[in-house]
Amino acid sequence: MPVAARQLLRELIALPSVNPAFLPGRDDLTGEHRVADFLAFTGDRAGLELEWQKVFPGRSNLLIRLTPPGGKVRRRILFAPHMDTVGVDSEARLKPVLKAGRLYGRGACDTKGSIAAYLSALLELTLRGPRPRETEIILAALVDEENNQSGSRALVKSKLKADLAIVGEPTRCQVVTAHKGDLWLRVTTYGRAAHGSQPHLGRNAIHAMARVVAELETTYAAGLKRRAHPLLGHATVNVGAITGGKQPNIVPDRCEILIDRRTLPGETRKSVFTELQAVLRRLGVCSDLADGINVDLTDTKTALCPALETDASLPLVQQLLRVVRQRTPLGVDYFSDAAVLGSSGIPSVLLGPGDIAQAHTADEWIELNQLERLTRMLVKFLREQP
């Protein structure tokens, strides 16, 4: 059996690595450095090459390399899981618990299970061989995926090239070649304040926004269903937050909503803005809402989160599909580091143990048989490389 992935995962779960964006001020629980140090110690002890890539103060990507005998590199395979997790409601979630073939704990499937499987496969080749003769394998343990994908963006800026990136996400050990992109948008309506006893003297920004929300959640959402991707289905829109007004006896002069818009391959920030601006023009410039109401649309994400679509006919992707015993690849709705790497020219797929339905939940868990099955498949895939 490959170097024990389940023991690696136990140790990884016990090392808190909550993204600082979710528990500000809790230095005892946040940051990826504990996981990175453990991986560096384990890799160094096995004789693997280490490279640190600073992203933020105290937060660095870690690259663990297995170079081929003789140093000639004709092909490069990149493993790219992330080390950070979302927050916890109890510190008890940071203690690994084994129950009925499942290992519970924060990060179990998202994505410390992937880290454990990837590292286990790498150690198997390192300690027991045989090593691929002309293929370099890099495990890039990344920071900040759960917040702004700063780790993968820093890796891309380093100009690292690879023939295939396998990105760690809980896919139930299935190869994923496409996922949706994501835009976070803010719509603001501006009216005119007035005393609540004389509302006709004001312009109600909440009333205007109510029309916008209704349009987005009905007519616009229905229109998105008419355009479908073979693996991803249709794009979606969700109005996730709304704020406006100060108190009941004042006509509100401002209202704001936050929108999550999941995109398909081929859709761009510009094309989505054009669609939504057309909706707002109909509601905010025409009809009775035009009288004194202004509408503004802005993007709240600082970095682009494009959709992923990798050519499944690429030889390495086909080889991976054969090893996994999967006829056709899958698509998923969520965003990942794979799109960041793919946009830089690195063909990227998602493959990891665990189910996305368990990610971010209070009782996150992973089936250990999935963890060990994926480790064996990865070892087989890597041993088939020249």
Residue ranges covered by each domain of the chain: 5-178+307-383, 181-299
> In this model, does residue 346 exceed pLDDT 90?
yes
Q: Give percent of the chain above pLDDT 90.
A: 88
* Fold type of domain 181-299: Alpha-Beta Plaits (3.30.70)
- Give the mean model confidence (pLDDT) for residues 231-248: 97
Q: What is the pLDDT of residue 285?
A: 42
> In this model, does residue 109 exceed pLDDT 50?
yes
Q: Are strands 194-195 and 308-309 parallel, antiparallel or unpaired?
A: unpaired
Percentages helix, strand, coil for the chain, rounded to the nearest 5?
35, 25, 40
| Cβ pair 4, 120 in contact under 8 A | yes
Q: What is the pLDDT of residue 291?
A: 56
Q: What is the pLDDT of residue 292?
A: 63
The backbone region for 58, taken as left when phi is positive above 0, alpha when psi lies in -120 to 50, beta otherwise, is: left
pLDDT class of 284 with cuts at 50, 70, 90: low
| Cβ pair 240, 182 in contact under 8 A | no
> In this model, does residue 61 exceed pLDDT 80?
yes
pLDDT class of 70 with cuts at 50, 70, 90: confident
DSSP state string for 13-76: HTS--B-TTTSTT-TTTB-SHHHHHHHHHHHHHTT-EEEEEEEETTEEEEEEEEPPTTS--SEE
Task: State pTM to two decimals.
Answer: 0.93
| Cβ pair 378, 190 in contact under 8 A | no
Q: What is the pLDDT of residue 289?
A: 47
Q: How far apart are the first and last CA of the chain?
A: 22
CA atoms within 13 A on the CB side of 221: 14
CATH of 5-178+307-383, one of 3.40.630.10, 3.40.50.300, 1.20.1250.20, 3.60.15.10: 3.40.630.10
